[in-house]
Chain A
């Protein structure tokens, strides 16, 4: 029972490079999320998805793209990395029904540095 798996754990990018942060869950959860955590701050929502083929912007979507071709996977794409994207990225998932606000299950995070 792996839960939410994020890869890689660490990555250093040069300004302007692109990369994809991978996220997979094996709990058959409908909902998946990407958050970023900046030092001394809480988590901020980047994008989320309520099911395969459906994605929507969160609070801080600029500079990122997502796709959800399967229920299990929710990759986050950075096209032109900028120093402001240096952060720890968390993927999360939840099984959510109406009136059942299930807790988010988080991955272990990806620490990204852009220099």
Chain B
């Protein structure tokens, strides 16, 4: 069975601090996909990134970066120079590889609430 653990329930930082959100996953599949979604106070879910299990390169997108390490089954998310607008709940999710006739069902972690204050 797949499982995603986000051990940090809530994190509070002051604006401009860097913050890392942890994500640890479990799966028996050799091919899988990892995702991060952002849920701002307005409630919608915003896709941030997808990473497949064969690509361990870290990714940077502006102030966001992701560190994927298969050896520790982790897919951590770092926000550099955090801003108040980053305040949200962030979800890590895992999906098995899509095969014919099935769907990419996501298994979500419980989320980390990030509060960025002035």
Counting CB contacts under 8 A, is B105 at the interface?
Answer: yes
Give chain B residues whose Cβ lies under 8 Å from the Cβ of A94.
103-104
Give chain B residues whose Cβ lies under 8 Å from the Cβ of A102.
104
Counting CB contacts under 8 A, is B99 at the interface?
Answer: yes
Q: In the complex, A104 Cα to B35 Cα: how many Å?
A: 10
Give chain A residues whose Cβ lies under 8 Å from the Cβ of B42.
108
Main secondary structure of the interface of B (DSSP, over half): loop
Q: Which residue of A lies closest to B104 (CB)?
A: A101
* Chain B interface residue bracket vs A: 20 to 34
Give chain B residues whose Cβ lies under 8 Å from the Cβ of A49.
103
Give chain B residues whose Cβ lies under 8 Å from the Cβ of A100.
98
Which of these, B47, B91, B98, contacts A97 with CB under 8 Å? B98
Per-residue interface assignment for chain B, residues 33 to 44, with 1 indicating a CB less than 8 Å from any chain A CB and 0 otherwise: 101010000111
Which of these, B43, B97, B103, contacts A48 with CB under 8 Å? B103
Chain A residues with a Cβ closer than 8 Å to the other chain, count: 33
Counting CB contacts under 8 A, is B110 at the interface?
Answer: yes
Main secondary structure of the interface of A (DSSP, over half): strand
**Of A11-19, A20-28, A37-45, A76-84, the one with at least 4 CB within 8 A of chain B:** A37-45
Smallest CB separation, A80 vs chain B (Å) = 26
Counting CB contacts under 8 A, is A50 at the interface?
Answer: yes
B95 touches A101 (CB 8 A): yes
Counting CB contacts under 8 A, is B72 at the interface?
Answer: no
Which of these, B45, B101, B103, contacts A106 with CB under 8 Å? B45
B97 touches A101 (CB 8 A): yes
Smallest CB separation, A6 vs chain B (Å) = 10
Give chain A residues whose Cβ lies under 8 Å from the Cβ of B47.
103-106
Among all A-B residue pairs, the 6 with the closest Cβ atoms: A42-B108, A106-B45, A101-B33, A31-B103, A103-B47, A43-B108
